[in-house]
Structure 1
Amino acid sequence: MKISLILFCLGLVLTDAAVIKQNKRFPDDFFFGTGTSAYQIEGGWDADDKGDSIWDYMTHNMPEVITDHSNGDIAADSFNNYKRDVEMMRELGLDMYRFSLSWPRILPTGVPNYVSEAGITYYNNLIDEMLKYNIQPMITLYHWDLPQKLQEMGGFMNPLIADWFEDFARIAYERFGDRVKYWITFNEGYQICYEGYDYVSKAPRLNATGVGEYLCARNLLLAHARAYHAYNNDFRPTQGGICGYTISISSAQPLNDTEEDRLALELHTQAEWAIYTDPIFSKEGGFPKELSELVAEKSANQGFPRSRLPAFSEEEKEFIKGTSDFFGVNHYGGGYVSFSLYDLENSVVPSTQDDIQVGSYAPEDWPQAASFWLKRMPRSLYIVLKRIHERYDGNVPIIVTENGWSTHAGIEDEDRVAYYRAALEGALDAMDEGVNLLGYFAWSLLDNFEWMAGYSERFGLYEVDFEDPARTRTPRKSAFIYKQIIKTRVVDHGYEPHSYVMTIDEGH
């Protein structure tokens, strides 16, 4: 990957939109990759001196909360099969590969009083194997696997998480930053904070509705800023990389073209993702204005002595503002939103949903993935990219850090092929209209432990045989289609693979 990409990520013009409009082709400097996360693929849960994560703890002590009662103890066994994973990257012709570090694999106690050299070695081996074939690593520092020891001290509800996370980030920069030039601090604040602390659909299942998410969001953003400034001040001058932040965004649209439903969309936006991005990317900084006022008013009416969404001080606003070199967006599906769709009768009070009272739905005739929450919305990725571009005045470089479609086990995945083609056409259209899109990562390289769904849902370009001790990987049709898109930089609906035998093209 050319060093010039780093400059592009920092805001230079990436490509000539007129050329894209004429040829509908991704430029040569546009990078394609795939993504994974540590707990979902690595296995080796107790290898060497690794500590427990909140997912180790939850799946071992509450297996019933996982659809198939499974866990990530072995998963795809990438801990032992990383060379095969890199071979798959070469088969696809990837420019980059996004993976996360297991915090408790590197810091078994959660803090740097003890660093696991075995854990460091594992990631060094993976990084070096990738670079051997000119595949650039993008590291996510935190993809949901908090050390259990830190959770027992409050996790993201404890303001000290900013100290703990900065310590972890500094070790990662020190040990890997001489070769890794692309960093993401946090993956998906909403899923970390709402699903993990406000609700029970992710570890640690705190279920502190109406309070947990907001406290977590505040602490997470301060932790992110600490890690960003550490890199920017102490490592970027010698390492020359970039550091960003990733959030998940659905392609919500107003149910009706009315002022009321447009307000519903704005409140939905603020509660789902702008609460995690406005403090970084907006000119004003701080949490979104309308959401902050609404939560403060409801908190007072509910008898709370202060707002359940605690504001940042002016100093904190300035500390957080601008702390990302790119906007990392994970996107899957979407739907329509309206106040009229909200189920007031079954509302939990207090809760984020009750605070905004916006409901959503997706039409029955949209294609349905294996995941209950995922339907293919027309022009979905295009809508999201344009919304980010417009919300932040068109100044922010964007990277699609996740985008994918789930199926059940099996090789046949025509619906995944259709999803990727539609998404990438939407990306081209958005770039044609001035969106500064730098790259795209398909989710996922291979089947993995799909969180609460266990192994009942599959997102991989490569199928993994979880019944085989060797965890054999087999390319699906979507792998061949994605490979052709990367090679030609064109979305060709007429292309069909001549063979289902995957080979490595010369140069990869």
Structure 2
Amino acid sequence: MWDRFLHDNSSRTEDGRNADIACDSYHKWQEDVQLLKELGVKIYRFSISWSRILPDGTTNKINQAGVDYYSNLLKELEANNIEPLVSLYHWDLPQHLSELGGWLNPQIADYFGEYARLSFRLFGKYVRQWATVNEPKSTCLLGYGNDFNAPGLVLVADGVYQCAKIQLLAHAKAWHIYDDEFRASQGGRISLVLDSPWTEPASDSDLDKEAAEREIQFGFGWFANPVYIGDWPQVMKERIANRSKLEGLGFSRLPELTQAEIDYINGTHDYFALNIYTGTLVEFIPDAHIGTPSYKSDKGNNAYSDPSWPESSTDWLYYWPLSMRRLVNYVNKKYSPGEIFITENGWADTGGIDDQDRVRYFKGYLSNLLDAILEDGINVGGYTAWSLLDNFEWAAGYTQKLGLISVDHDSPNKTRAWKASGRYYQQVVQTRCLVDTCVE
């Protein structure tokens, strides 16, 4: 659906460019595996493109060229002693399924289950760590509540909640298929990937504390609660039902999870996959007057950044490394997941090889993650930075760079070049030391 979204209107990316070729890892996968080997990493997280192996999203037609690509990549990773962590869905739905209603259509969960089963069958020999859906919140809020991402539907009052329910059911279906049919023979594990900033109360007032907790429940608990506790967060159920009633509806805009659905979703995790980039301050504001319904009005607070935090090249990412430690502590206390795996963490700039701001970012965030492990006793099972390469960053196109390795997207060969942050990361992997000189 992203191909259609961008080809229909090139202005949907900041630079007017699309992802037809991007980093061209389709042809340069061997070179990229060698970059991973040189980095010294033991794990590589990547996603399968649903439409690459199933062009219309259904198992009626399997694209063997796509299957061969992923098989070859997985074999090459194995040959270099690099473990894959494979995501099944990272925001890009096959166009045919999008036209069937996408993540507003309950049947898409069934299609996702068939796609997941096929992937486990084809690639499970090489994969021990799976992720089902990456950042469902982003798909729902940016693609179904906003025209920022594909499919560009502005259904911010209700479509976002339907999207969430269907993605949760899709995740649960894939988890149960793996658990029932493949776990015994393949010995892997599977979870979904959730993202959140740390939400810090703007003051010590009870109102700001409540507003900050509501912020994280509406954005993070929205998906974590059904999987790790059961059902939507209570604050979401109460606020959305109340505002729906005041708007004249005889039902809540938040679709109910039946007891059967609650039971089906609850417990579908083997570890907690967490994407964390930044933090935000949250303050209380009076509830908006009943008018045009929206997710923002349902949430009813104000989130903003501290002006003292260094800003990246994008307006959502700020350097506040304490957010890492506080969020993993929150996850551990709230959801008791057993193990947390940091699946994304990184910094955006506009380019350049000597990227010292990114080096500073990794030093700060990894230091706080280490404090969480050593001082707070949090079980962190692994960490993968976002990202290996400067890639296509959705609506930002190629204007935002997050890679450890630079990619010249204007060159025919998509030439790779090491950045300072890549060499720093390499040093950390080799020495397990976050500063230049470590004392034994």
Aligned-partner Cα distance in 2 for 1:344–1:333 = 27
Aligned-partner Cα distance in 2 for 1:157–1:351 = 17
Q: Which residue among 159, 163, 166 is the counterpart of 2:106?
A: 159
Aligned-partner Cα distance in 1 for 2:297–2:437 = 47
1:390 matched to 2:345: no
Q: Which residue among 424, 434, 439 is the counterpart of 1:491?
A: 434
1:420 matched to 2:362: yes
Q: Which residue among 385, 388, 396 is the counterpart of 1:442?
A: 385
Give the deviation of 1:211 after TM superposition: 0.4
Which residue matches 2:234?
289
Tell whether the 8 Å contact from 1:421 to 1:493 is kept in structure 2 after alignment.
Answer: no
1:321 matched to 2:266: yes
Q: Which residue among 194, 202, 224 is the counterpart of 1:255?
A: 202
Tell whether the 8 Å contact from 1:99 to 1:137 is kept in structure 2 after alignment.
Answer: yes
Partner secondary structure for residue 332 of structure 2? helix
Give the deviation of 1:396 after TM superposition: 2.9
Q: Which residue among 463, 468, 474 is the counterpart of 2:411?
A: 468
Pairing 1:335-350 to 2, within 5 Å after superposition? 335-340=280-285, 349-350=292-293
Which residue matches 1:363?
306
Aligned-partner Cα distance in 1 for 2:419–2:164 = 38
- The residue type equivalent to 2:298 in the other structure is D
Aligned-partner Cα distance in 2 for 1:493–1:188 = 34
Which residue matches 2:342?
400
Tell whether the 8 Å contact from 2:117 to 2:177 is kept in structure 1 after alignment.
Answer: yes
Partner secondary structure for residue 251 of structure 2? coil
Misfit runs of 4+, over 3 Å: 342-345
Give the deviation of 1:183 after TM superposition: 0.2
User: Please, what is the CA RMSD of the aligned residues?
Assistant: 1.4
Tell whether the 8 Å contact from 1:343 to 1:359 is kept in structure 2 after alignment.
Answer: no
Which residue matches 1:50?
none
1:308 matched to 2:221: no
- The residue type equivalent to 2:90 in the other structure is H
1:380 matched to 2:323: yes
Give the deviation of 1:344 after TM superposition: 5.1
Partner secondary structure for residue 199 of structure 1? coil
Tell whether the 8 Å contact from 2:277 to 2:346 is kept in structure 1 after alignment.
Answer: yes
Give the deviation of 1:88 after TM superposition: 0.5
1:60 matched to 2:7: yes
Tell whether the 8 Å contact from 2:199 to 2:213 is kept in structure 1 after alignment.
Answer: no
| Larger displacement relative to structure 2 (113-122 or 302-311) | 302-311
Q: Which residue among 201, 223, 226 is the counterpart of 1:276?
A: 223
Aligned-partner Cα distance in 2 for 1:493–1:254 = 35
Aligned residues: 437
Overall identity of the aligned pairs, in % = 40
1:243 matched to 2:185: no
Aligned-partner Cα distance in 2 for 1:71–1:395 = 38
Aligned-partner Cα distance in 2 for 1:114–1:326 = 33
Instruction: For residues 347-385 of structure 1, give each alpha carbon's deviation from its aligned partner in whole angstroms, at most 9, with x where no partner exists.
Output: 983111101211111122211111121111141211111
Partner secondary structure for residue 129 of structure 1? helix
Cα 1:464–1:343 shift into 2, 3 Å? farther
Pairing 1:23-62 to 2, within 5 Å after superposition? 54-62=1-9
Tell whether the 8 Å contact from 2:244 to 2:253 is kept in structure 1 after alignment.
Answer: yes
Aligned-partner Cα distance in 1 for 2:74–2:418 = 23
Partner secondary structure for residue 252 of structure 1? strand
Which residue matches 1:174?
121
- The residue type equivalent to 2:185 in the other structure is T
1:234 matched to 2:181: yes
Partner secondary structure for residue 383 of structure 1? helix
1:188 matched to 2:131: no
Aligned-partner Cα distance in 2 for 1:73–1:395 = 38
Tell whether the 8 Å contact from 1:348 to 1:354 is kept in structure 2 after alignment.
Answer: no
- The residue type equivalent to 2:142 in the other structure is E
Cα 1:458–1:214 shift into 2, 3 Å? same
1:83 matched to 2:30: yes
Give the deviation of 1:305 after TM superposition: 2.3
Q: Higher relative CO (CA 8 A, sep ≥ 6), structure 1 or 2? A: 1
Instruction: For residues 241-267 of structure 1, give each alpha carbon's deviation from its aligned partner in whole angstroms, at most 9, with x where no partner exists.
Output: 000110111011000111111110111
Give the deviation of 1:395 after TM superposition: 4.1
- The residue type equivalent to 1:463 in the other structure is S
1:482 matched to 2:425: yes
- The residue type equivalent to 2:235 in the other structure is E
Give the deviation of 1:198 after TM superposition: 1.3
Instruction: For residues 131-154 of structure 1, give each alpha carbon's deviation from its aligned partner in whole angstroms, at most 9, with x where no partner exists.
Output: 111001111000011001101000
Tell whether the 8 Å contact from 2:88 to 2:130 is kept in structure 1 after alignment.
Answer: yes
Give the deviation of 1:271 after TM superposition: 0.9
Pairing 1:115-126 to 2, within 5 Å after superposition? 115-126=62-73
Aligned-partner Cα distance in 2 for 1:272–1:360 = 12
Instruction: For residues 412-432 of structure 1, give each alpha carbon's deviation from its aligned partner in whole angstroms, at most 9, with x where no partner exists.
Output: 210000000111111111112
**TM-score normalised by length of structure 2:** 0.97
Tell whether the 8 Å contact from 1:382 to 1:426 is kept in structure 2 after alignment.
Answer: yes
Tell whether the 8 Å contact from 2:321 to 2:365 is kept in structure 1 after alignment.
Answer: no
Which residue matches 1:93?
40
Tell whether the 8 Å contact from 2:321 to 2:368 is kept in structure 1 after alignment.
Answer: no
Instruction: For residues 146-201 of structure 1, give each alpha carbon's deviation from its aligned partner in whole angstroms, at most 9, with x where no partner exists.
Output: 00110100000000011010010001000000111110000001101111111122
- The residue type equivalent to 1:429 in the other structure is D
Cα 1:135–1:378 shift into 2, 3 Å? closer
